[in-house]
Amino acid sequence: MERLSEHELLLNMGPQHPSTHGVLRVVLKLDGEVVTGAVPDVGYLHRGVEKLAENRTYPQFVILTDRNDYLAAMLNNWGYCLSVEKLLKVEIPQRAEFLRVITGELDRIASHLVFIGTFGLDLGAFTPFLYAFGREREMVLDLFEQLCGARLTYSYVRIGGVSHDVPEGWIEKAKKFIVHMRGCLKEYDDLLSYNPIFLDRTKGIGVLSASKAVAYGLTGPNLRASGVKSDLRELDPYGVYSQFEFDVPTGEKGDCWDRYMMRRHEIEQSCRIVEQALDRLPAGDIMGKVPKVNLRPPAGESYAQIEGARGWLGYYVISDGGTSPYRLHVRAPSFINLAVMGEILKGWKVADAVAILGSIDIVLGEVDR
């Protein structure tokens, strides 16, 4: 950093910090309480997933994808499997596609619930955290546990289909959850969304214009909050998404409140999709024709992108015909969304820095891989 003037202070919002949503370090240059510069420092959770991929077989890597974005693992699995399935040119049975949509959207709801809870918690609201994280999300996790045995790292979506079929009574339980979730959204609105203190702390804070958002490669709810109506499920559909009816909400100003409301509205839309999918779940197999041992996709490369909970999640796989990928790259939305931090934090106060960081909704597992 250049020489500091007399009134400036370098504050280290260190890797261990309850509000940075993981091990993120942001070096803030402060003038009094106003942030004049911010340099994010990432890499504390770097596990070398892309290098590990070169030493793991294709099915083995599904487990590693869980740990990228651990709050929405179903969607991570799906992105990877889509990419490998493109190489294999295998057909996925319809039941598996619908199950992928159901679990993917339920996982998106779970991820957004974490966001609502922790965002409120960062700003001091304790109750929505207990409701969103501790009540609704537990219901989703219970559903997933009955389905595939895991609460966080599912490895449910596999290459060629999904790993388990729904147990008895699961569909009814899922429908009951959706009904319950809709009621809870009204509760969150009463508690948090239109709360005057919350509005004071998020409205007009951290405004990101649409042109800047597009220039920085922001995607997902952050981009939609700035007014760009862009959702991969609608504009470039994958799987069976073209069969479902849902809206794509957009924000107006691109401030923290808009980013928060984007995710809250997305929960509603995900509920709609899950309901439609549960009603139309066809019978059939859950796994396509994929060799069980020695999966060798033909040499080539493929890139598949899905609308993850945080943005466009892409997996770029280069295969040389062997059992392990030659090169695998994860286009992690949180990594690319985080790059805007250096720009967006300037001019706001330290307390706003927490709100802005929370509203971008990053997951360090994805940032660092």
Applying CB under 8 A, which residues contact another protein? 42-43, 46, 48, 50-51, 212-219, 223, 228-230, 232, 235-236, 303, 305, 312, 314, 316, 331, 335-336, 338-340, 343, 368-369
Please, which residue, 214 or 281, has the CB nearer to another protein? 214
Q: Residue 256 corresponds to which tokens in the numbers above? A: 């923290």
Distances (CA, A) of 139 to 5, 76, 134, 151: 53, 21, 9, 10
Please, which residue, 118 or 230, has the CB nearer to another protein? 230
In the complex, the smallest distance separating the C-beta of residue 347 from another protein, rounded to whole angstroms, is 18
In the complex, the smallest distance separating the C-beta of residue 301 from another protein, rounded to whole angstroms, is 8
Please, which residue, 66 or 368, has the CB nearer to another protein? 368
Please, which residue, 113 or 317, has the CB nearer to another protein? 317
What b/e sequence results for 295-319 when a residue is b if at least 16 CB atoms lie within 10 Å of its CB, and e otherwise? bbbeeeebebbbbbbbbbbbbbbbb
In the complex, the smallest distance separating the C-beta of residue 229 from another protein, rounded to whole angstroms, is 7
Rounded Cα distance between 147 and 260, Å, is: 30
Give 142-145's long-range contacts (Cβ < 8 A, gap of 24+).
143/106, 143/170, 143/173, 143/174, 143/177, 144/74, 144/103, 144/106, 144/107
In the complex, the smallest distance separating the C-beta of residue 130 from another protein, rounded to whole angstroms, is 35
Please, which residue, 63 or 339, has the CB nearer to another protein? 339
In the complex, the smallest distance separating the C-beta of residue 211 from another protein, rounded to whole angstroms, is 10
Secondary structure element (H or E) that encloses residue 81, with its range: helix 73-88
Q: Residue 367 corresponds to which tokens in the numbers above? A: 């940032």
Please, which residue, 50 or 268, has the CB nearer to another protein? 50
Identify whether the C-beta of residue 233 lies closer than 8 Å to the C-beta of residue 309: no
In the complex, the smallest distance separating the C-beta of residue 205 from another protein, rounded to whole angstroms, is 21
